[in-house]
Amino acid sequence: MQEFILFLVGVLISGFGTLIGFGGGVFMVPILIIFFGYNIEIAIGSTMAALVPGSIMASAFNLRDKSIDYLVGTLIQLPAMAGTVLGALLVASLPVVKLQLAFALFVVVVGVAMVMPKKQKSRPQKAGMMYRIRRAPTSFIRKNRAKKLAYRLNGGVVSLSGFVSGVMAGLFGIGGGFVQTPLMIKIFRIPPQIATSTSLFILVVTSFTGFISHFLIGNVIWSRSIPLMAAFALGALGGNLLKGSRRKSYNIEKLIGIGLFLAGFGVLLNLAIKSNFGFSF
């Protein structure tokens, strides 16, 4: 019975993570520890293993749908890898617990702000700092002819955001997906469908490298990981079927807001769990 409940929870989390481009790992780890009694290392290893088929399944659908921006994904992923290494090195010299607490609270507040109804602003769109940054010398226009979409980006700023998300991932031991997706939508004005698909494409690389790392140190137990891998694959399939129905972008943003709130709450739970078990960052 417990295995069936875990499978069902995995399907639901993967489906929701596919819809919002987070993948679902930040939600799954505390659930495995609190409700299913997993050791913290095994919970992380099992989740990393589950993210591999889920992200591949989602990216296969997005590839067919032509909604992945591979250039943006590369501009984010490569600096993020360097940032992850730097973040891991900074762990010993920074008050990580306090920083993670502040970061988690910030994410919760941003999630609530995205869900709350917004007042109409009279400020013209062709104004503000981000508008000027997107038109700086390293800016360029991306066109998705299949979706009839176009958006202007600044390559340097996009790469910097990837580096910062990587530093946070290495520093706090969290995935960068729930940081990258809102940045792409709210800051860089990438259409939500492109942003979520690109984030899941990035997750293919990060989840696979994370899975290999945890497998080599013995944190992947196949009897526990395989059912969760199947659940995440099925959830990704269901999430992509739901994405097939047209939704307005503000609905996607509200879902992302809910996801950010839950992700911030999940980070707080991870912090409490690691403190109780005597783990240090």
SS3 of residue 141 by DSSP: strand
State mean pLDDT over 39-66: 92
What CA–CA distance (Å, rounded) separates 83 from 171?
9
- Mean pLDDT for the stretch of residues 82-89: 83
pLDDT tens across 252-271, in order? 888 889 998 988 888 788 77
φ/ψ (deg, to 5) at 189:
60, 30
Residue count (the chain) = 281
pLDDT at 56: 96
Contacts of 45 (CB under 8 A, 6+ apart): 211, 214, 215, 219, 220, 221, 225
Are the C-beta atoms of 149 and 191 separated by less than 8 Å?
A: yes
CA–CA distances in Å: residue 134 to residues 40, 76, 191, 229: 42, 16, 15, 39
pLDDT of residue 106: 86
Decide if pLDDT at 69 tops 80: yes
Q: Quote the CA–CA distance of 92 and 199 in Å, as a whole number.
A: 29
Q: How much is the pLDDT for 24?
A: 87
Q: What is the pLDDT of residue 33?
A: 85
Give the other-Cβ count within 10 Å of 119's Cβ.
Answer: 6
Q: Is the dihedral of CA 222, 226, 232, 237 positive or negative?
A: positive
Q: What is the arithmetic mean of pLDDT over 166-186?
A: 78
Q: What share of the chain in percent tops pLDDT 70?
A: 84
Instruction: Please give the Cα distance from 91 to 173 (Å, whole number).
Output: 10
CB 220 within 8 A of CB 49: yes
Dihedral class, residue 37 (left if φ above 0, else alpha if ψ from -120 to 50, else beta): left
Reported as type and span, the H/E element at residue 154 is strand 149-154
Structure tokens at 123: 């400020």
Which of the two residues, 96 and 15, has the higher pLDDT score?
15
Q: Give the residue-averaged pLDDT of 71-81.
A: 92
Give the integer Cα–Cα distance in Å for 106 and 261: 9
How sure is the predictor about 281, in pLDDT bands with cuts at 50, 70 and 90? very low
- Cα distance between residue 193 and residue 153, in whole Å: 16
Helices (H), 116-219: 129-134, 155-172, 177-182, 192-216
For the cut 60, the answer to whether the pLDDT of residue 280 exceeds it is no
Give dist(CA 262, CA 279) in Å, integer: 22
Extract the tokens encoding 146. Answer: 């299949």
Model confidence at 64: pLDDT above 80: yes
Q: CA-CA distance, 181 to 187, in Å (whole number)?
A: 10
Tell whether the model's pLDDT for residue 245 goes beyond 80.
no
pLDDT tens-place string over residues 148-174:
999 988 888 899 989 988 887 777 666
What band does 177 get if pLDDT is binned at 50, 70 and 90? confident
**What local confidence, expressed as pLDDT, does residue 124 receive?**
52
Dist. CA 274–CA 281, nearest whole Å: 9
pTM of the model: 0.84
Report the alpha-carbon distance of residue 240 to residue 220 in Å, rounded: 27
Mean residue pLDDT of the chain comes to 84
What does the pLDDT look like over 103-151, one tens digit per residue? 888 888 888 888 887 665 555 555 555 556 556 666 888 999 988 999 9
